């Protein structure tokens, strides 16, 4: 580092994008350091960190503050006195376009569908080279999981599978950063909808977060050494993503992220205080200061530690140094845009990323010696798609549409038709008809057929006019090929009528040339789907929650193919599906050891032979299946893939290395754990096309730790009143309320750090259900950290109740040790809020959580649940009368008060109920859908009461008002529409918020989509 005469650090002012005039020694050291740190800050020399600390020491608080927010739409902060210029940023993940046209790759899908890590690295190199022309950081890649295929930005992302998503992210990032450009992964985390993108609430449990939505970020940090991370603009578990403690606790501490975090372009201006956002781990507010204009004042006022601000600046300076901002740090390679070499990479991506979905009768490839006339029709026949779709939209220097690609191919007469009648007439006289259809790709959500940032497609409905077009030309000609562009739509109304189907996603600026080569066999298709293509929109595991807010991720880890397989739903096209003009034969599957310790690595190999007449590429996929597990797991999970290039008759070997993580699941309260036992290794060409299977046995490494296993022994304790807990951090004790075990007091959490700690005893080590009775009258979701024996195991998400006197229960399954334990609930909402606790009830191990339905018969949905048929052995069953002298002594058990219905409604009425009580019903949900719920109720008392229904731990109805009917047998029906249910939901809980009513039955009627 160079210092001026007064000892302060002074960085030379740049003369352009990056300062190049350096003395020879500095240049030599910078070049050496670049080799050390490119893409890998973890290996940076200690003196760099020391120099950064010296720079921070020379800054005033206001100068540090100014580094932490943007000073323009795409520029970060700066410190002019010390010569530190701003980080210049630019979109986007599909091509750099801060300063005019650039090489356009079209979509993350087409990049991922290559399944080619070496090619994806080259994509990253191109992105880095082109960013170097006018910026220091590329705002990409986007690595959100594709949870719902109609989400507006799904085309930007890579996959529904966390492993495949991460593998793509690593290679793209490594390629970008090889050019001395900082990559910025986005949007952290669970940002899976575009509708109301700044007001959507994603609620999900820790296991789902860890297994599905976080691995891409973890791999990008640990393997890709990514330099920056952008948060989502949404909420996660009730907290804005740019203020979630996950930034600090998981991203930075757990994953070891050393780079900088920044907001999406909404700045730190909502919901959070300056201090809470900074302490949660958000380093930079973009594009403006907003509440970060108060950072210096917060430090002076003692509400923010200077060490926090120093760390924020330190992370920014690391990235600035890496990217050579203002000539500080290693110089970057000279940038270049739109070179023939870059455009060749775009063409190669389209060639390998376009997927052949259907090829009945080998209609493809087309014979160039016999096909001379082409009828080309469909809404996307000559549509350009690089220029829209939001921040990833490109201004490409040119774009080869399907029409232009066929014209470039040469030797063809292309008859383009834009009307139905014209297309039918041309189809009858042409050698082949090509219908290019699918979605549009515009700057805003303009219709249900658009993929774009800022909105989601309404559904998967196929355009009526296009459906009629395809069916009409299919009747006129037997040689019809459909080319589908954009996000998936339902095909069931026409797919059986056409022999050929190609999926392009958005193939980028060279897509038309690539498509023509595939159609005529110059290119042998090798792309495979990275998501599951549903037959029906309603088949998607996440469909039941679409349009909801908050969005409860009720499918849990059963996202994409995991959910289809668990629910035994056959999709249109499976995850990993993709055809070739070649054929391949699998054989000789072998494993380095059929039995191994969890600490060992296992090598898996399989031979693949090209039995076709063309050179081709096969993507060999390896899945792992846990044969017996103590927690619910997917049928199988992708854990490896290998793309082989094989000449006709050639045999190649696909090779995979599996470590402990490949067999592990996230166990609540413990972490990643690979259960000892048998696993199947399944090798195939798609998730639904498994060719070979081998069974292996994993053994526990001696001395290795393990979670407490589920046990039938119950770890029971009496209900613990909140006021009897150890109360710290200003918890207040208020009015008397009824608890599980009698009258008690309410405790109110009033500040960050407030905590209530309970002492409980467990008869044995076990997963134990701990039920928390709470009220939340704030109108917004609150969160409490849950600590067992001092260790933070999870957080419990507490949705609003209808008022401070309206009580709900929330259950967490926690691991308790044998003997004495402490369970602490700690208020962690970054801003002021409140939540009241009444008591906790401890009991029921994981094994005991599974209840038998009444008389062994689950209630079927759609259908009616009779109120009296609650599960045998239920915990905390709703009741009123605790003696045998209830109405006509008609109780079944648990002293529940039953009374035969006196009208045509039939069955029994069940009551009376008290606030906070509930009834569980085992159910068999037949269809993922939205339902209308009707509940038959009666209430003697004046005024109204409320109830709600829960499933999979989440509220599915919200409060439903129970009116006064004047008598216990004066029945009325209350209704709630649009209630979402998933096939994996296996329990319905009726929760009594207000109590004082009778229930006759609950009816679920499927709504028409």
CATH number of 24-327: 3.20.20.300
User: What's the confidence (pLDDT) of residue 950?
Assistant: 85
Query: How many angstroms separate the Cα of 646 from the Cα of each of 292, 619, 681, 701?
Result: 56, 11, 24, 40
Of residues 376 and 38, the one with the higher pLDDT is 376
* Superfamily designation of domain 340-566: Glycoside hydrolase family 3 C-terminal domain (3.40.50.1700)
Please state which of the ranges 422-431, 656-665, 785-794 shows the lowest mean pLDDT: 785-794
Q: Are 654 and 606 in contact (CB under 8 A)?
A: yes
Average pLDDT over residues 676-682: 96
Q: Is the pLDDT of residue 94 over 80?
A: yes
Tens digits of per-residue pLDDT, 552-579? 888 999 999 999 999 899 999 999 999 9
Residue 939 or 747, more confident: 939
Contact present, 727 and 751 (Cβ < 8 Å): no
Q: Which helix (H) or strand (E) holds 299?
A: helix 295-300
Asked if residue 674 lies in contact with residue 664, where contact means CB atoms within 8 angstroms, the answer is yes
What pLDDT does 346 receive?
A: 98
* pLDDT tens profile 107-132: 999 999 999 999 999 999 999 999 99
Q: What is the structure's pLDDT at 629?
A: 87
Q: How far is CA 208 from CA 27, 162, 205, 732, 899, in A?
A: 47, 11, 6, 34, 42
- Give the per-residue pLDDT at 852: 61
> CA–CA separation, 927 vs 943, rounded Å?
37
Range of lowest pLDDT (45-59, 614-628, 901-915): 901-915
Q: Does domain 854-1006 have CATH number 2.60.120.260?
A: yes
pLDDT at 587 over 60: yes
Asked whether this chain's domains 717-849 and 854-1006 adopt the same fold, the reply is yes
Catalytic residue among 51, 134, 264, 537: 264
Question: What pLDDT score was predicted for residue 630?
Answer: 82
Altogether, the residues listed in the chain come to a count of 1009
**Residue 554: per-residue pLDDT:** 85
Share of the chain above pLDDT 70, in %: 80
Q: Residue 846 — pLDDT band, cuts 50, 70, 90?
A: very low
Separation in Å, CA 95 to CA 91, 98, 187, 287, 988:
7, 10, 17, 21, 48
- Whether the pLDDT of residue 12 is over 60: the answer is no
pLDDT per residue over 150-201, tens digit each? 888 888 999 999 999 999 999 999 999 999 999 999 999 998 888 777 788 8
- Per the prediction, the chain carries an average pLDDT of 83
Between 724 and 780, residue with greater pLDDT? 780
Give how far Cα 639 sits from Cα of 167, 554, 586, 680, Å: 10, 24, 18, 12
Across residues 516-533, what is the average pLDDT? Answer: 99
Q: Within 10 Å of residue 902's Cβ, how many Cβ atoms?
A: 10
The angle, 0 to 180 degrees and rounded to 10, between the axes of the packed helices 162-177 and 215-222 is: 30
Known catalytic membership, residue 264: yes
The domain over range 584-699 is classified in CATH as 3.40.50.720: no
With pLDDT > 90 as the criterion, what percentage of the chain qualifies? 54
pLDDT at 636 over 50: yes
Q: What is the pLDDT of residues 946-984, one digit of tens each?
A: 889 988 667 789 889 999 998 878 889 999 998 888 755
Residue 444 pLDDT more than 70?
Answer: no
Q: What is the CATH number of domain 717-849?
A: 2.60.120.260
Q: How confident is the model at residue 11 (pLDDT cuts 50, 70, 90)?
A: very low
Q: What confidence score (pLDDT) does residue 911 get?
A: 63
CB 512 within 8 Å of CB 408:
yes
Encode pLDDT of 406-427 as tens digits.
999 999 999 999 999 999 999 9
Could you state, in order of their start, the residue ranges of all structural domains in the chain?
24-327, 340-566, 584-699, 717-849, 854-1006
């Amino acid at each position: 580092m160079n210092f001026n005469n007064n000892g302060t650090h002074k960085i030379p002012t740049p003369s352009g994008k990056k300062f190049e005039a350096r003395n020879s020694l500095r240049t030599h050291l910078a070049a050496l350091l670049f080799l050390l740190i490119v893409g890998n800050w973890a290996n940076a020399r200690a003196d760099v960190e020391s120099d950064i600390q010296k720079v921070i020491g020379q800054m005033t608080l206001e100068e540090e503050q100014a580094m932490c927010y943007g000073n323009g739409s795409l520029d970060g902060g700066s410190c002019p006195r010390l010569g530190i210029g701003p980080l210049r940023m630019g979109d986007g993940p599909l091509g750099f376009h801060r300063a005019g046209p650039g090489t356009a790759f079209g979509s993350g899908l087409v990049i991922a569908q290559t399944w080619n890590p070496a090619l994806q690295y080259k994509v990253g190199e191109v992105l880095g080279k082109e960013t170097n022309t006018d910026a220091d950081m590329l705002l990409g890649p986007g690595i959100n999981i594709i949870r719902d295929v109609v989400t507006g930005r799904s085309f930007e992302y890579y996959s529904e599978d966390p492993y495949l998503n991460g593998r793509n992210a690593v290679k793209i990032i490594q390629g970008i950063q090889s050019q001395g450009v900082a990559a910025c992964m986005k949007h952290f985390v669970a940002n899976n909808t575009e509708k109301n993108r700044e007001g959507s609430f994603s609620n999900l449990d820790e296991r789902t977060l860890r297994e599905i939505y976080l691995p891409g970020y973890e791999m990008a940090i640990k393997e890709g050494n990514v330099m920056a991370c952008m948060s989502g603009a949404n909420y996660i578990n009730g907290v804005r993503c740019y203020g979630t403690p996950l930034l600090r606790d998981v991203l930075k501490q757990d994953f070891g992220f050393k780079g900088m975090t920044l907001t999406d372009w909404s700045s730190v201006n909502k919901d959070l205080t300056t201090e809470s956002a900074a302490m949660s781990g958000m380093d930079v507010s973009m594009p403006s200061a907003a509440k970060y204009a108060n950072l210096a004042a917060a430090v002076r006022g003692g509400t923010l530690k200077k060490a926090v601000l120093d760390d924020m600046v330190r992370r920014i300076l690391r990235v600035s140094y890496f990217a050579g901002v203002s000539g500080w740090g290693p110089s970057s390679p000279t940038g270049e845009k739109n070179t023939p070499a870059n455009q060749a990479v775009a063409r190669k991506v389209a060639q390998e990323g376009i997927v052949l979905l259907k090829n009945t009768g080998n209609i493809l490839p087309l014979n160039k010696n016999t096909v001379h006339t082409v009828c080309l029709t469909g809404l996307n026949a000559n549509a350009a798609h690089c220029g829209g779709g939001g921040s990833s939209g490109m201004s490409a220097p040119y774009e080869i549409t399907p029409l232009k690609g066929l014209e470039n191919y040469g030797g063809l007469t292309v008859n383009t038709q834009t009307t139905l009648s014209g297309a039918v007439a041309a189809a009858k006289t042409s050698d082949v008809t090509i219908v290019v259809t699918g979605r549009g790709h515009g700057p805003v959500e303009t219709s249900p057929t658009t993929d774009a940032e800022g909105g989601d497609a309404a559904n998967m409905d196929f355009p009526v006019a296009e459906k009629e077009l395809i069916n009409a030309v299919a009747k006129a000609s037997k040689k019809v090929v459909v080319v589908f562009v954009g996000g998936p739509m339902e095909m069931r109304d026409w797919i059986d009528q056409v022999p050929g189907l190609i999926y392009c996603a958005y193939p980028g600026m060279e897509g038309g040339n690539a498509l023509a080569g595939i159609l005529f066999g110059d290119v042998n298709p090798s792309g495979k789907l990275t998501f599951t293509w549903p037959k029906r929109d309603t088949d998607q595991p996440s469909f039941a929650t679409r349009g909801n807010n908050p969005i409860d991720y009720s499918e849990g880890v059963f996202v994409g193919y995991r959910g289809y397989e668990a629910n035994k739903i056959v999709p249109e096209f499976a995850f990993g599906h993709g055809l070739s003009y070649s054929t391949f034969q699998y054989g000789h599957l072998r494993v380095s050891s059929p039995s191994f310790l969890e600490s060992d690595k296992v090598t898996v190999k399989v031979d693949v032979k090209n039995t076709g007449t063309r050179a081709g590429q096969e993507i060999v996929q390896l899945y792992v299946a846990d044969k017996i597990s103590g927690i619910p797991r997917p049928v199988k999970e992708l854990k490896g893939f290998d793309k082989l290039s094989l000449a006709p008759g050639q045999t190649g070997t696909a090779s995979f290395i599996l470590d402990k993580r490949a067999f592990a699941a996230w166990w609540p309260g413990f972490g990643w754990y690979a259960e000892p036992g048998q696993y199947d290794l399944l090798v195939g060409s798609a998730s639904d096309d498994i060719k070979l299977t081998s069974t292996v046995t994993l053994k526990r490494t001696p001395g290795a730790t393990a979670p407490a296993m589920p046990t039938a022994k119950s770890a029971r304790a009496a209900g613990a009143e909140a006021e009897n807990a150890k109360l710290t951090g200003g918890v207040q004790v208020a009015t008397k309320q009824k608890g599980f075990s009698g009258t008690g007091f309410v405790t109110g959490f009033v500040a960050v750090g407030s905590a209530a700690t309970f002492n409980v005893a467990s008869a044995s080590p076990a997963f134990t259900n701990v039920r928390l009775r709470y009220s939340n009258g704030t109108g917004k979701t609150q969160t409490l950290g849950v600590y067992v024996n001092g260790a933070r195991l999870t957080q419990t998400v507490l949705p609003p109740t209808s008022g401070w006197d309206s009580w709900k229960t929330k259950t967490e399954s926690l691991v308790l040790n044998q003997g004495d334990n402490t369970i602490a609930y700690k208020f962690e909402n970054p801003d002021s809020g409140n939540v009241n606790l009444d008591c906790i009830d401890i009991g029921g191990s994981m094994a005991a959580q599974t209840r038998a339905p009444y008389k062994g018969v689950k209630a079927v949905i759609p259908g009616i649940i009779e109120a009296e048929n609650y599960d045998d052995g239920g915990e905390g069953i709703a009741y009123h009368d605790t003696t045998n002298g209830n109405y006509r002594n008609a109780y079944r058990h648990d002293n529940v008060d039953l009374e035969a219905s006196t009208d045509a409604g039939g069955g029994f009425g069940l009551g009376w109920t008290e606030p906070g009580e509930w009834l569980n019903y085992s159910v068999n949900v037949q269809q993922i859908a939205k339902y209308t719920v009707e509940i038959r109720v009666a209430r003697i008392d004046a005024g109204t009461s409320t109830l709600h229904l829960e499933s999979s731990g989440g509220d599915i109805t919200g409060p439903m008002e129970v009116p006064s009917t004047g008598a216990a047998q004066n029945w009325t029906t209350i209704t709630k529409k649009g209630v979402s249910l998933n096939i994996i939901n296996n329990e319905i809980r009726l929760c009594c918020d207000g109590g004082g009513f009778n229930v006759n039955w609950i009816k679920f009627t499927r709504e028409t989509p």
